[in-house]
Structure 1
């Protein structure tokens, strides 16, 4: 099997190479090919990118701040799920832990959605991993510090749009032992279904830590406004009212 090769552009890149990079950006960030009207909305940024006036990171900011991206993910998702999707699209991984979610949730609630996108793309981690000219991609196995961290990102990176709803982040439904297939979260008796279905060989991954994770989720809910909190809770099956 050939080793994965990230797509990177430079001053020497041809227009054809930049067009390939552009399409990969859309596949990574929008998870699909953009519609014609969306291409029109991004026309100026596309021209600047194809003519080498801006690099990948700057184009990502334009796309992330645009109605094209926000209509696709922000306005249709709960804040916590949107933050997870931002990490998937721009960092190629799931959020590391609840502290990281809290940090960016605070930025979102106090400064707004554009500042969240900017904070991710301006982060030291982003600059170190992708720089200004590499298209973000799903991180490879060697990046992760534990099997659990790899598992959660792998599940997220293989998740289709709205496959498990638009409210509960992977970090929570996974560790709470929920099954969110079809967008409704339900308790699964027995072992964690995520471990069974995706990577049964990963024995080191932690089992659901119900009480602690429930408390942390409640703390996050307290940080949301009433409408946002109700939306997140409403996404859970009635069996989950204990969460």
Structure 2
């Protein structure tokens, strides 16, 4: 079951699209559809040039010499995948993307991260890719001839709700790319949140939420705001939306912008009044230290 309207959460296309399966008696066009779906899923919706395609593995799939699972393995173990999502990424970013690309979900917690980090330390990159594809979970979800697809945005029996919230940090709509254009870039999107099993707010992409969405602000940002802690040692993070400019006679008048303010406790009441005077709507106030 999807949590909330799929279109507003940015997963409408995934919810409305049936899994791609290679069936007996398939036509050459159907095989080509499967090949494109594998590249799209395993390479995180990134563009693949003709010169980068795995022609030998594609030929074997077309001839029925290998299954879809084995074609997924070939793409995952390829230099193309390694150069994009392993050699140039920090380890935790590589692991969280592997979970997304091969199992269709976010890591379930520290044990997931630890297991794959151990495989990388003691064995190899190729062995780690195999560990996803040879897992019981992969077999149960996709079998031999279904192209992996995103499952983590749905609540699942036996899976922690924290992993469900984390999936939305990795899946930002059908047009995003894990190679270029994703918000985290090469940095981990989850990192400490997975290790500490901390749930995160499910934040829609901008296109699904009337033009605004909040992004987390690093705790160190308080120094950039020039904010120090009060005598009580507390600094509060205020998230504001619908924050509109009162200035006229300009080319643009911004609306529905989201802002984050870091405020000492003794200035909280004053900041609260200022925000409301300027038409802002406070979405949340949380302590950050």
TM-score between both structures, scaled by the size of structure 2? 0.58
Distance 1:123 1:4, change over 3 A: same
What is the SS of the residue equivalent to 1:170? coil
Per the alignment, residue 255 of structure 2 pairs with none
Q: Which residue of 1 aligns with 2:133?
A: 121
Aligned residue for 1:137, secondary structure, equals: coil
CA distance in 2, matches of 1:95, 1:129: 16
- RMSD over aligned Cα atoms: 3.3
For 1:186, the equivalent position in structure 2 comes to 218
1:1-243 to structure 2, matched below 5 A, reads 3-30=16-43, 31-39=45-53, 42-139=54-151, 141-143=154-156, 145-158=159-172, 160-161=177-178, 162-172=182-192, 175=198, 186-187=218-219
- Distance in 1 (CA, whole Å) between partners of 2:143 and 2:217 is 37
Deviation >6 Å, runs of 4+: none
Q: Give unpaired runs (5+ residues) of structure 2.
A: 1-11, 201-215, 222-234, 240-289
CA shift in 2, pair 1:150/1:191, >3 Å: farther
Looking at CA atoms only, which structure, 1 or 2, has the larger radius of gyration?
2
Q: How many residues are treated as equivalent by the alignment?
A: 190
Distance 1:105 1:147, change over 3 A: same
- When normalised by structure 1's length, the TM-score is 0.68
* Larger mean Cα displacement after TM superposition, 140-149 or 30-39: 140-149
Q: 1:146: how far off? A: 4.5
2:46, 2:177 within 8 Å by CA — same for their partners in 1? no
CA offset at residue 55 of structure 1?
Answer: 1.1
1:83-140 residue CA offsets vs partner (Å, 9 max, x unmatched) = 1111100000010001111001000111010000001100000001011100001005
Q: Check the 8 A contact 2:52/2:80 in 1, yes or no.
A: yes
Q: C-alpha offsets along residues 130-188 of structure 1, whole Å, 9 cap, x if unaligned? A: 111000010051426454321211321226425213232425258498xxxxxx97227
Of Structure 1 and Structure 2, the greater strand share is in 2
Q: Which runs of 5+ in 1 are unaligned?
A: 178-183, 194-243
Q: Note the C-alpha offset of 1:191.
A: 6.7
Q: 1:29–1:89: 8 Å Cα contact kept in structure 2? A: yes
CA–CA separation in structure 2 for the residues paired with 1:128 and 1:17: 23
